[in-house]
Structure 1
Amino acid sequence: MTATEAAGGADTAAEDPVRPGRREDLRQLIRYALVGGSGVALDLVSFLLLFNVLGLDEQVANVISTSLGITNNFVLNAIFTFDKRDRLFVRFLRFYAVGLTGIVLTYVLFHIFTGGLGIDANIVKAGSLPLVLATQFVLNRKWSFG
């Protein structure tokens, strides 16, 4: 018996079935963000090299760098975030499809901010990452690893 129960009250932690789920949701979000950070770093460094050093078009550099980040994140999320090792090929296809939303979103942002407003592609790429991360977390949790 807990001190709260002895005093005549309810032990809210034991009776609240949502609370443990919220903790797991928070843990998953934190792990997803950490994994995402490694993918973002790989994506951004790859983009900077492909665009600034090799001189590839920003759209081509974005597709390649994002694909590297997606692959990195799939492997790490399957193992560490969602602990799913079944149907890996199907999950990867779904994860990559979600990743394509990030490519499309960044494409639109490049079009608007780099093409239309003349803002440096490096800044647009870096600025797009938080929006892409949030969108993809929701989609991946529900569809790729749900």
Structure 2
Amino acid sequence: MTETTATIDAAPEKQNRTLRQLVSYTLIGGSGVALDFVVFLLLHNLTGMDEQLANALSTTLGIANNFVLNALFTFERRDRIVLRFLRFYAVGLTGIVLTNLLFLVFTDGLGIDANLVKAGSLPLVLALQFVLNRKWSFA
């Protein structure tokens, strides 16, 4: 088998691996999203906590949940765990910042309910974070 043939043969395998990782990341992300959203609703709606602070706290819990599960199942990387967590958390901070910007625009600026803005931000944040975590946190 030539080097070119080996590269071509490896391409579908790499695509399949990426697809499996995306599916696993999405499923695990779902558990983190559920945790994040429930904690956000409790903090914001039951305690009256400001939506941005509630978002930071709830997202942090979701990040920790997702890091552990993704390290074990999606990317199967257990080396340099502290460095990987710090990178994963930094990526998670992009989600916090993005969601808080959306709160500023849609909740504070346009008067849209914070619960709807939080729910609407989740798919956008998931996509951004998958790319960043795959390329940086678990590379």
Q: TM-score range by the shorter chain?
A: over 0.9
Distance in 2, matches of 1:102 and 1:24, equals 25
Question: Does 2:135 align with 1:142?
Answer: yes
Question: TM-score if structure 1 supplies the norm length?
Answer: 0.89
Question: Does 2:18 align with 1:25?
Answer: yes
Report what 2:111 is aligned to: 118
Report what 2:55 is aligned to: 62
Question: How many equivalent pairs are there?
Answer: 134
Larger radius of gyration: 1
Question: Does 2:62 align with 1:72?
Answer: no
For the aligned residue pairs, the C-alpha RMSD in angstroms reads 1.3
Distance in 1, matches of 2:11 and 2:53, equals 44
Which residues in structure 2 correspond to 1:85-104 (within 5 Å)?
A: 85-104=78-97
- Deviations along 1:23-65, whole A, 9 cap, x unmatched? 1100000000000000000000000000001110000000000
Offset, 1:17: 1.9
Identity of aligned residues (%): 71
- Determine helix, strand or coil for the equivalent of 2:77: coil
Structure 1 gaps of 5+ residues are 1-11
Question: TM-score if structure 2 supplies the norm length?
Answer: 0.94
Distance in 2, matches of 1:16 and 1:145, equals 24
Stretches of 4+ aligned residues off by more than 4 angstroms: none
Q: Supply the AA of the counterpart residue of 2:33.
A: V
Distance in 1, matches of 2:126 and 2:52, equals 19
